[in-house]
Structure 1
């Protein structure tokens, strides 16, 4: 007798070659008459799927997944008397890229080597041990984070971070907060460009990181919920949901986080400039507490096969409370104590940022011919207040200060790209972009008058700062392929304007730069899975507003900071020659690289006779780095998977004017290991080491970090529970050694609380039947 609820279909989605299961592929059952969707499901992490309640009839099975060619299985016939139909293994092929120089690995967590970038697909293992975008970035080859949470590429800062091709500052002004607020499970892949083509931002002397978010195209409703509880009140909760019916799709997400980080700081500096040498010792501890929330909503509507529009809204908010207590002691060479005081600071702040976006996509009759228009408008504000108390046995060293800050900012981003396939093997792309922004910043300092008991405004250390910039860019790229060769050449022209108004001292000036950024990439196939490539790009690092602002920050009175209005852009030549070979179970991609700049922007510290240091950005001279690096991945049976990267390189910083000649060989690398255990357990380990490297006036010592995690799938793999530990050995210690003719300094900054958390994640979703155009 036929079951009233219909038949059940089952099968397994596998990849060719190797028959490895394709995780979480979308399986849709289409009517053979008009290709409308009847029902469907999502495969589990092993590629196994079932579809229940299938009525009798003839169907077409469609299987889709990111990184694979869409697979159609025709003539799926369900007889009236059928209860169960086993479709067996359904083989999918890796997706062929436009220039034939991209080889996709067998699992989404592997690396894809494109002609001008490396693509890291975020797989389930990386997501299981990552709560936010910061956690993900540390697992990406060649990427690390500095002590403030800013991304570095090959151990160097000055990295441009994009989100879906748009500047990350549209989401807020503080990049580390943005990265910590962005939920990891919204990320589809991360593109790392060490020698970007002219299509991408010309800024970023070290490279460009483009973070691509997920965009569900399946019908029905699906999503995830995630809760993480950590030690010392470090908690996180997030959720996202996607819905698609017919031509309309809606996605929304929300993330909330509570952070608590403790740290210690030590600094020892010998002062040689005065007639009697002296020694400054600073030591103390601090705590940074913060709360942030991030939400986004996106609506996409496909008018037809050729036209689609998407509107989006993002909002982020953050609160922070920071405190520190630093002991300052200056002794003379005779051993006598010259001065001693404790400086206690407490500060709090609030901020918010709203972003509105409108994107339009137009496809033409010719394959791959497309017009894209994107726009974003962002508005944000932040305010804060700090209170400083200086305690000493000497009356002249007693201080009570108040600092009040207010910041308002706006930005508008417009972009249009047109892709024209001239022939089946050649493509021309052209684009125009504009970005305008303004920033009004008030920073007021007050000192306590001990005679009157009133706080008095101090104009010498206060600042009212107005800033505007406008960037207009045009680019074009040309791509050509043959069976063995690939070529991509490009040129970007940028007109950059800055208007700087130091209102508090009536100092107003403008800066204008016109820059050319050429790029060239050549590839040569050596087989089905191997290729050689040669890349060149010229990069420019334009001075940021804070680097130019001549305001002097005296929050640490023995180490003050100021901007430099005389900064000029830094131009960097980047070249790379590499080999890559990736197959289903792993591969590697070694390369030789070189970065050269003859006017590098870097921090310079000088000291006066009182032992007070002043730190400013300056164009110091020549900076050169070169070496060899490789990434490596390997799947060993069904138990162990390894992703790793490493490099050996030399850094040189030389400036005759600043009397700097610093040259150092170094090495660094990271390793991610994922182990499959019995009873649906999986364990992971991550280690990273950044070796010593040359910086202006000294050396940064090596940094070692180790993390681990273990996870278990529950509820028929719909849920995951994981336990994670970050910085297991509390070894993330940032140490600098500076040596000049006027001073010698050693410093340490280290987070003192390791992060331990337990995370529960639940995935839900159903593919619904529907009618209308198939999307």
Structure 2
């Protein structure tokens, strides 16, 4: 066979000498034998597999590097003139052989690595120095942002499934923003973002899936870190983690505690057209929320041999919160005459705890890449919240005092089993089954104070006992093949989903059953070792969450009432993406064309009655579509400046003939991170994000601008880092929306009013020692 004109191709796989596990993202360089200059290079994938293309004939030295491993040199790599493909086979790397008194990071992996159906973002020291929690990291990822409540969004839209080590994040607690804020950033190795997930992942998450991968104990010896962060207005945190590995035994432990104190303001102006005499509701108010949380985790893993590993772990979280808001309500006629006016003072306290216990078993077979894994997770949690509402008015009928007592109990059992089978030299079949059984019991008691008796009287009309259970049984199958420059991954997931809903207080119950089929397809065409095209398709489903279904009526704001909708149906979304990517060690970019189409979309709908009181609940409104162009990029300039970011121009359309909605808007969004080296070993960082206006069900959400900045310096011979960070530099994180219907017109604002400033000290320690491969 004639040799390709553009050169030969080298392939191989980098593994750990101790256990034959692939070394993810190892840097592979091909040096000339004559003067050891760099001729070609590549970055291995998640499994340690690498390919170097267009190699000219000659003699080379192969150099492989990765953090925590000895640099490996393999001389005598000869590419003959007639060579087509040279397979170097399995190349083994040893853990760092030298003993170190302290851990010192001297190099970092390429930040972004593009896989066939996801983007992998490696969490380097620059990101860690400017981030205390996973929540801080999220904002710095391509295409990812946070809404006003701290929930992740992908491409500006919610309904994102967040996983932690491939497991549902709500196994760790019931409130996702609290989980992300409590999880220390320095426990994270990488974050995987999937905008068109394959059938391997749960079918939920209309916007995509984010998988947070924690660090594992790979290096023998003891190492860890401790971090202290002090902030203005009592925003403080402290965390520490410890890793130990000796022989077959490994231990990880982490503890994080934090205190947050956030202030906010809100305004709302709503014209009511439905009543015979139009009225105007004006609300202005301020509030604050303080939260104290504790998070701890312990994990133990044991390597029976190089092919069998068992890991058990326990995660525990505890949080206490207090909130206060003062809202002035004024209703007037068009001429300014005041119909009613009252001030509502809300006070609330709450506490919650959650525990998660997990067991993971992994087995590798003699055949390369053949593996079996089993995971079992059991979690339980509870929360109690007490709220008091003091409504003061000169009008007797509006003067009242109320309280709301809420209790939540939840449990969840998660079982998962996966099997990977390389059926051919280039094709792999992956199969899996999983089940999840969850229960959620909510008791909401509402009471009114009787001014004459000074006793609280129970209100059955406003109280609710809500029991919710779901059972999910699912199986998936994917087939992947990489042949030459082409790659394919096709899959299908079948899910049997059952909901049992019981409104205990009115003795009304019903159940819902869904059987869904989720297909996915990904095609890739490599142009060279770094560049590729890919075409992805995935169908997603958004099933109603428990709190969306719960018909409990929230009266904390009596002019803006919220309730659940037990008649919600699932939302199905078709996602397609055509993308190009070219990532190298010095940076790269990845533009894409994308489209999301949802029928029967779930969104919030607000209606108004003749008294000017609005009712908000989730509903299935109709068609929602989003399409546009997006790119992410990263670049290192002269080893001084590192930048990465993403940007998109897109159109959103929300259309429902039944609800008389037809909103269509072009918009643009983007974020940018910059890290720059300064004299005296200082490094500065800056982050900006803008989420442009977009169409929502009954109007438009305005754009939101955020700017953060910081400066850091390594001290104590680079064993520690001191960093100073400011979040929301310009106090511009304001969330505004305009709603316009035939019955009302509304403008609203919610804004956090305290600029967060913190000073952090992070100390790294550890000893690394050598050992034999099996740790006997």
Alignment of 1:607-622 (within 5 A): 607-622=608-623
3-state SS of the aligned residue for 1:324?
A: strand
- For residues 359-398 of structure 1, the aligned pairs below 5 Å read 359-398=360-399
Q: After superposition, give the CA deviation of every residue in 1:308-359 in whole Å (9 maximum; x if it has no partner).
A: 1000000000000000000000001232111000000100001000000000
Aligned with residue 29 of structure 2, among 16, 19, 35: 16
Aligned length: 697
Instruction: Please give the alpha-carbon distance, in whole angstroms, between the structure 2 residues aligned to 1:348 and 1:731.
Output: 29
Matches within 5 A, 1:504-543: 504-543=505-544
**What are the residue-to-residue correspondences of 1:296-695 with 2, within 5 Å?**
296-695=297-696
Give the gaps of 5 or more residues in structure 1: 1-12, 23-60, 76-91, 96-105
Deviation >2 Å, runs of 4+: 13-20, 61-66, 68-75, 92-95, 106-109, 768-772
- 1:72 Cα deviation from its structure 2 partner: 3.5
The reply on whether 1:733 has 2:734 as its aligned counterpart is: yes
Partner-residue secondary structure (3-state), 1:736 = strand
Pairing of 1:218-237 with structure 2 (within 5 A): 218-237=219-238
Quote the offset at 1:64 in angstroms: 6.4
Partner of 1:121: 122
For residues 621 and 253 of structure 1, what CA distance do their matches in structure 2 show?
46
Q: What secondary structure is seen at the aligned counterpart in 2 of 1:232?
A: helix
Go from structure 1 to structure 2 and tell me whether the alpha carbon gap of 1:451 and 1:647 turns closer, same or farther (over 3 Å shift).
same
Q: Distance in 1 between matches of 2:149 and 2:402?
A: 25
Whole-Å separation in 2 of the counterparts to 1:366 and 1:716 = 45
1:65 deviates by 3.0
Q: CA deviation at 1:283?
A: 0.4
Mapped to 1, the partners of 2:744 and 2:116 lie a distance apart of: 47
Change (3 A) 1:662 1:406: same
> Is the 1:109–1:124 contact (alpha carbons within 8 Å) kept by the matching residues of 2?
no
Whether 2:258 is the aligned partner of 1:257: answer yes
Q: Distance in 1 between matches of 2:109 and 2:271?
A: 52
Q: How far, CA to CA, are the matches of 1:219 and 1:536 in structure 2? A: 42
Q: Distance in 2 between matches of 1:730 and 1:161?
A: 28
How far, CA to CA, are the matches of 1:239 and 1:441 in structure 2? 35
Trace 1:705-720 onto structure 2 (pairs within 5 A). Answer: 705-720=706-721
> TM-score, structure 1 length as denominator?
0.88
Structure 1 CA distance for aligned equivalents of residues 91 and 281 of structure 2: 64
Q: Secondary structure of 2:203's partner?
A: coil
SS of residue matched to 2:367: coil
SS of 2:460's partner is coil
The 3-state SS of whatever aligns with 2:233 is helix
In 1, Cα distance between the equivalents of 2:264 and 2:91? 50
Q: 1:412 and 1:63 mapped to 2: Cα distance?
A: 42
Cα separation, 1, equivalents of 2:127 and 2:529: 28
Residues 139-154 of structure 1 mapped to structure 2, 5 A cutoff: 139-154=140-155
Structure 1 Cα separation of the partners of residues 110 and 392 of structure 2: 54
Alignment check: 8 A CA contact 2:29 2:63 kept: no
Which residue number corresponds to residue 80 of structure 1? none
Question: Bigger CA drift: 639-648 or 328-337?
Answer: 328-337
| Separation in structure 2 between the aligned mates of residue 656 and residue 771 of structure 1, nearest angstrom | 69
Contact 1:69 1:94 in 2 (8 A): no
Structure 2 residue 744 is the aligned partner of structure 1 residue 743: yes
Q: Confirm or deny: 8 A CA contact 2:217 2:251 kept in the other structure.
A: no
Shift of 1:93: 11
Deviates more, 1:537-546 or 1:108-117: 108-117
Q: Does residue 1:766 correspond to 2:772, yes or no?
A: no
The residue aligned with 1:8 is none
Partner of 2:756: 755
CA deviation digits over 1:124-180, x for unaligned, max 9?
100000000000000000000000000000000000000000000000000000000
Alpha-carbon deviation of 1:16? 3.2
SS of corresponding position for 1:553:
coil
CA distance in 2, matches of 1:500, 1:485: 48
